[in-house]
Structure 1
Amino acid sequence: MPPWVASAPRLTSLTKGRAIEPLPAVLRCSHATPRSLNLRVRSASTHVSPTAINLRPNIPPRNKELYNALSALSGAAETYVNISRLQLALSGLAAQDAVTRVAVLGLNSQVSAQRLARLLLADPLGNEEGWEKELEKAGDGNERAVLLKFGDENDAHRPTPLYKVLSAPSRVLRVHNLEVLVSTLNVNTANMLTTVSTESSEESVLIPKLQATSARGTPVPYPVHKTLVLGEGLDSALAFGRFSSDSAADMRNMVKVAVDLPAPQEEADTDAQAEGAVINVEVGTQALASFRESVANSQIFERGWFRSGVPTISQWLTAGMQPTEPIKPALKNLVTSIVDDVETKLLKEDTARLALFASIPTDREATAAITNALDIWAEKSHTELRDELDEAFSARNWHKLSWWKLFWRVDDVTMLSQEIIERRWLISAEKSSIFLAGRMAQAGFPEDLPKIVLQDVPVTTTETAPTLDNQPTNLSTEVRRPQPWSDNIATAREELVAANVPPLQALAQRLILQTMSTTSLSSALSALLYVSSSCSVFEASAVAALGLTFSLRRMQKLWEGARESWQGTVREEGRRTLKSTEDLVRLIIRSKEQGKAQVDEGAVERRQAREAVKAVREALANMHKQEEQQK
């Protein structure tokens, strides 16, 4: 018998280890506790949910130092460590011989990944099993992930919406204590550059995301020790290369890429530890079928099997799975990868902080320049407000609204008063504020304050304010919707026109009506006195003259007082608008300075994380020394 046949996997009987398997996170709820759930004893497994309750395990003495160091890392570097991978490592250290998880992820199709997993685990000397038939089924593209465990096909498994569990009496699973997860990478190979943005490509590959059958809710992470990525064609290989461009320089011990391409005519020499491999699933499937059909086809099987490239993948799959002391190489690679990932994230954070600190002097210069420009703008704006309104209120158009001209100019009150506000009220200040806002935007200052509490903005308000006829009215205290500060003047102008011009027009019309009514009434009384008594024309006319004088005097006093009050209101609103705009801009400047002053508040946390990483590395080194001493 050829040596490759003698070394082929054989179905042997064994006594399966017994262990309690923690429940997946998706089956636990907020009201469930470990005691209230019915845990069944089944095949040894390290399937620990990322959020599972940590009961104090019976840790082997040789693993205690490393276990404690990793536990401390979860608290000191909580922001930078992946909790699901960390808990997988902790569960491996807490067991005598923990299960090793391997993922076979398809880039384009889960069906291809299932067929490859079948070739890796099938026994060529045995007949086709039921689990193999399940993996060979062609799906509709919406298949659930499949978890392959060692066991009999009749074993019962707790149902889970995340994946389908298949028991396979595979020698590879038994000897190396493996679990194989078959799923997809859950990214679009045509747009891999923009699909994953919140996590690195290394995390996406080593922590597959499993989606429940309902396709609702957040995908559940399922961390693994090693991952085999299967692509179909050169396009998928190039897409995965772009996708994994941000990964660690050396991931060959944990990630391997296999590309399904046409098989060569002769077997090619390949390195099992290389990061990539060329395979052909169809050729491997045909070779396996031919050998099972007849042992006489052993040479055909051998040639097709090695041409398919599957033996190279098999060697990589079982590498690092040997139960060595103190821990398996696969588990050691996982721990090393975790601390390397934490250090990489800390380095990126330090780099970002240093870049931010380096930009502070430039920001201070920009802030000083903006503050100086704001002072100049405020001074010129107040000067403009004073000079323009003085000129407007001394101009001919405003004198057209004198009290004695009001009889034929009453319909022009709205036009003339609105013209003063729209053409004389902070026109240059508004244009300059737009220019200043552009300089601030170029310097990195925001236009508005969406992240600042509105109560922090200084606002000058009063409970009541007199109207033109000295009647108090309540002012609105509603907080305005946040807007770019450069729009403050335009908004204030619109509100000033809407709030002050109509009352002035109404007062003018009311005074004209009152004056005409008083004059008419006094004239009627004068005529009645002349007709009904012995009063002379001169005496009767005195009553009419008295009524006319009184009405005109009252009209002059109220109207001129209203005009002076209106002038004061326009001036005061201009000063308040300029002051509130200036205060808002200074608040924007202060908010950015305060943000710069607090840029390094995470320095303590990063230092503690580095100390925790150092403790883990020292524990790994101590384990290595113990291993050398035992040898």
Structure 2
Amino acid sequence: MPLRIASVRQASRTPRKRQPDISFCPSCSIWRFNQPRVAALRAPPQARALSPFRNASTLASATAINPPLEVAAHHQELHHTLDGLKQNAANYVNLSRLQLALRGLETKDAVVRVAILSIDDQKAARKLARLLLVDPLAAEGAWEQRLEDTRPDDGRGILLRHGDEANVHPSNPLLQTISIPSRVLHKNNLEVLICTLNVNVAGPGRPTSSNRPKDAILIPSLQTPTSSSGRVTLVTYPIHKAIVIGQGIRSSVAYGRYTADTVEDISPEMVKVSINLPAPQEEAAQDASDAFVIVDVNTAAKALSKFRESTANSVAYEQGWFRSGMPALTEWLVDGVEQSESKVKPAIKNLIASILDDAEANITREDSQRLEELVASTVPESTRQPILESIKVWAEHGHTELRDQLEGAFAGKNWRRIAWWKLFWRVDDVGMIASEVLERRWLVDAEKNCIYLAGHIEQAGLFKDVERYNEDLLRKRPENVDQQTFGTYPPLPHEIVALEKRKAKLVDDGEVKFPEPKPWPAQIPITRALLLSETVPPLQALAQKLVLQTLSTTSLMSALSALLYVSMSTSLFEAGAVAALGLVFSLKRMQKRWENARSFWKGEIREEGRKALKDTEDKIRLIVQTNARPKQDIEGAEERRIARDAVQKAREALENA
């Protein structure tokens, strides 16, 4: 019984097994296990070394998105200014590279990520990575055999980290992670990414975009299948430095075409181009600072094999190794990764400088594009001046037509038909004759010529982008008023007035009928419609009123004279004098009021005609002069100014870091 109790007690102290938690890092796209460490800590060191599971902090990349760490005091200003770029210059910086730089500042000894990009396939990149990371004094490891595997790869990238070869990494559709006991990785805190670079794209002259050569090299894209149909999704994986390896002259020519228009933007401190060519008989002089280096992977591999066979072959190994050009690459690989107490790693500093340079280049490029758009939208002076002269000639002809046509109309036979003494039998023709004057004699040719003039303006491209003419007037524009266009939105002031009256004024037949919107100036037809609806009916009503008043007054005075003759025994002459007085008074009043009304109406339509001509001329001239000049992009310019200031502050902080 005590034994059972002891066994139960011992079992109660044994930690329960549970399924490991799995999490996904969106920055480095690495699946990682969060395994309880209770049993691992109680196990002996030998068991912990052979454990297939590692802690998340050692398995996950140090450059991944983790909870922000406490930034060192001497890096806080730089970190703050870089973090501000997310808000002030988000459209001009690559956020994945910016996030990588921020993570580097948040870590005391940040991991430097180096990519080895193969132009053709991963075989050359794998061989080169093996030679760069191998320990010649150690026996060949299993990771070397995996890199030397000649079987076709599945398209996934390979991530090499320092660690025990026995470490088991979870399956990832993007990356195949391999832990290797490399002193180069451990001493310099490096991790190496192996993938391919596609250079089979258009050459110089292609538009600037996210797939430009510099971005494709410094932000490699990892492919992951999304369906059984073969579609893939690209996931960016930013790095600090990159080695581009090509096979032979053909690869070098393809790379040269690929980067022909952006070769000056690629810094040799961040990108090293190596071409695999047969090694010369003697060692070639190559420096680590050169942008290009020639290597012979096969010669280096043979020299390594000879040295591993026997240390007596050290001289042959040294000669073959230096003839292969590998020393320049190994020196460049570890250049800029040393850690200082208060300084930023040169590799991270180069990354930040590259991000800021790209941001400034993007801002400048957008300024240039906007300037080109403004220049393209500007109408040349040689096109604008003839149009302004045509407007001046049109206005002169319009005023001349208004004067001559109205004088001819008012001196014509129809207008004389409604003289004051003819109103008794012509009173019903007043509205018809007045409407005929407005429709046939009031700026008819000017309206037609205005349509032709608007056609020339449209042909010159001055109506293509007409924006707001008067902001103050637009703010006062009624919300329920239909839009009458002069070329384009918004309506002109004269059209707004007409539309307001259209909504407010009713006549006997219903709403006032205004002309439909046309893509040419509408002041003249709208003013004519207003005159027809507002002045002709009152003139017709006044004529009828005057005729009725005259007949009524004459009848009353005649009745009064007859009454005086019958009742007061006055003479016929005296009674006739009273009737004549009434007749003369009523006719004189009719003549005076009617002639004044006709004179006022003639003056009103003349004045409204001059106003319509002047309004049309001013608005057309305003459109020509306004749209001939480039329109300023105020909001875009302010956004670029803020972004440029943020980049400048980050650059100053980088210089002090």
Instruction: Give the TM bin, normalised by the shorter chain.
Output: 0.5 to 0.7
Confirm whether residue 97 of structure 1 aligns to residue 109 of structure 2. Answer: yes
Confirm whether residue 24 of structure 1 aligns to residue 36 of structure 2. Answer: no
2:602 aligns with none
Shift of 1:603: 2.0
Q: 2:97 aligns with which of 85, 90, 103?
A: 85
Shift of 1:375: 7.6
SS at match of 1:74: helix
Alpha-carbon distance in structure 1 between the residues aligned to 2:87 and 2:173: 31
Alpha-carbon distance in structure 2 between the residues aligned to 1:21 and 1:618: 38
Confirm whether residue 224 of structure 1 aligns to residue 226 of structure 2. Answer: no
SS at match of 2:341: coil
Alpha-carbon distance in structure 1 between the residues aligned to 2:247 and 2:143: 24
1:611 aligns with 645
Q: 2:252 aligns with which of 237, 260, 264?
A: 237
1:580 aligns with none
2:577 aligns with none
CA displacement, residues 305-362 of structure 1 (integer Å, 9 cap, x when unaligned): 11111111010000111112322111111112211222222233334445555x3895
8 Å contact kept, 1:262–1:280: yes
TM-score by structure 2 length?
0.56
2:218 aligns with 206
Confirm whether residue 148 of structure 1 aligns to residue 160 of structure 2. Answer: yes
SS at match of 1:601: helix
Confirm whether residue 343 of structure 1 aligns to residue 339 of structure 2. Answer: no
1:622 aligns with 656
Q: 2:331 aligns with which of 294, 315, 325?
A: 315
Alpha-carbon distance in structure 2 between the residues aligned to 1:272 and 1:63: 29
**Within-5 A mapping of 1:18-417:** 23-25=25-27, 40-43=56-59, 45-48=61-64, 55-140=67-152, 142-188=154-200, 194=206, 197-214=209-226, 216=231, 218-242=233-257, 243-248=259-264, 251-326=267-342, 327-355=344-372, 359=375, 362-363=378-379, 365=381, 368=384
SS at match of 1:312: helix
Shift of 1:367: 7.2
8 Å contact kept, 2:30–2:60: no
Alpha-carbon distance in structure 2 between the residues aligned to 1:65 and 1:223: 23
Shift of 1:107: 1.5
Alpha-carbon distance in structure 2 between the residues aligned to 1:310 and 1:614: 39
Alpha-carbon distance in structure 2 between the residues aligned to 1:436 and 1:204: 47
Q: In the alignment, residue 361 of structure 2 is paired with which amino acid?
A: T
8 Å contact kept, 1:152–1:169: yes
Alpha-carbon distance in structure 1 between the residues aligned to 2:23 and 2:73: 22
Alpha-carbon distance in structure 1 between the residues aligned to 2:368 and 2:282: 50
Q: In the alignment, residue 605 of structure 1 is paired with which amino acid?
A: E
Q: In the alignment, residue 258 of structure 1 is paired with which amino acid?
A: S
Shift of 1:235: 3.1
Change in CA separation of 1:368 and 1:612 when aligned onto 2, cut-off 3 Å: same
SS at match of 2:161: strand
2:565 aligns with none
Alpha-carbon distance in structure 1 between the residues aligned to 2:285 and 2:637: 50
**Within-5 A mapping of 1:475-554:** none
CA displacement, residues 444-491 of structure 1 (integer Å, 9 cap, x when unaligned): x89999xxx999699x9xxxxxxxxxxxxxxxxxxxxxxxx9xxxxxx
Change in CA separation of 1:142 and 1:244 when aligned onto 2, cut-off 3 Å: farther
Q: In the alignment, residue 281 of structure 2 is paired with which amino acid?
A: Q
Any gaps of 5 or more consecutive residues in structure 2? 1-21, 32-53, 396-449, 467-482, 496-518, 520-619
Shift of 1:296: 2.7
Alpha-carbon distance in structure 1 between the residues aligned to 2:389 and 2:216: 50
CA displacement, residues 141-195 of structure 1 (integer Å, 9 cap, x when unaligned): 6521111111111212233211111111111110000010111123316857659
Q: 1:602 aligns with which of 620, 624, 636?
A: 636
Q: In the alignment, residue 268 of structure 2 is paired with which amino acid?
A: R
Alpha-carbon distance in structure 2 between the residues aligned to 1:188 and 1:45: 31
Q: In the alignment, residue 342 of structure 1 is paired with which amino acid?
A: A
Stretch deviating more after TM superposition (137-146 or 114-123): 137-146
1:532 aligns with none
Change in CA separation of 1:227 and 1:590 when aligned onto 2, cut-off 3 Å: farther
Stretch deviating more after TM superposition (263-272 or 340-349): 340-349
Alpha-carbon distance in structure 2 between the residues aligned to 1:127 and 1:97: 30
SS at match of 2:147: helix
8 Å contact kept, 1:92–1:331: yes
Change in CA separation of 1:320 and 1:22 when aligned onto 2, cut-off 3 Å: farther
8 Å contact kept, 1:189–1:240: no
8 Å contact kept, 1:192–1:239: no
Change in CA separation of 1:361 and 1:268 when aligned onto 2, cut-off 3 Å: closer
SS at match of 2:294: strand
Shift of 1:203: 1.9
8 Å contact kept, 2:158–2:194: yes
Q: In the alignment, residue 144 of structure 1 is paired with which amino acid?
A: R
SS at match of 1:245: coil
Q: In the alignment, residue 602 of structure 1 is paired with which amino acid?
A: G
Shift of 1:67: 0.8
CA displacement, residues 416-441 of structure 1 (integer Å, 9 cap, x when unaligned): xxxxxxxxxxxxx999999987765x
Alpha-carbon distance in structure 1 between the residues aligned to 2:146 and 2:628: 63
CA displacement, residues 355-390 of structure 1 (integer Å, 9 cap, x when unaligned): 555x389526477469669989x99xxxxxxxxxxx
Shift of 1:256: 0.8
CA displacement, residues 7-58 of structure 1 (integer Å, 9 cap, x when unaligned): xxxxxxxxxxxxx9971358699xxxxxxxx993324733325xxxx74421
1:17 aligns with none
8 Å contact kept, 2:204–2:261: no
Any gaps of 5 or more consecutive residues in structure 1? 1-19, 30-37, 380-428, 461-484, 486-584, 624-631
Shift of 1:212: 0.9
SS at match of 1:224: coil
8 Å contact kept, 1:148–1:180: yes
8 Å contact kept, 1:45–1:98: no
1:531 aligns with none
**Within-5 A mapping of 1:433-444:** 440=461
8 Å contact kept, 2:28–2:61: no
Aligned length: 454
Q: In the alignment, residue 25 of structure 2 is paired with which amino acid?
A: L
8 Å contact kept, 1:205–1:227: yes
TM-score by structure 1 length?
0.58
Change in CA separation of 1:130 and 1:250 when aligned onto 2, cut-off 3 Å: same
Alpha-carbon distance in structure 2 between the residues aligned to 1:200 and 1:173: 30
SS at match of 1:325: coil
Q: In the alignment, residue 220 of structure 1 is paired with which amino acid?
A: V
SS at match of 1:336: helix
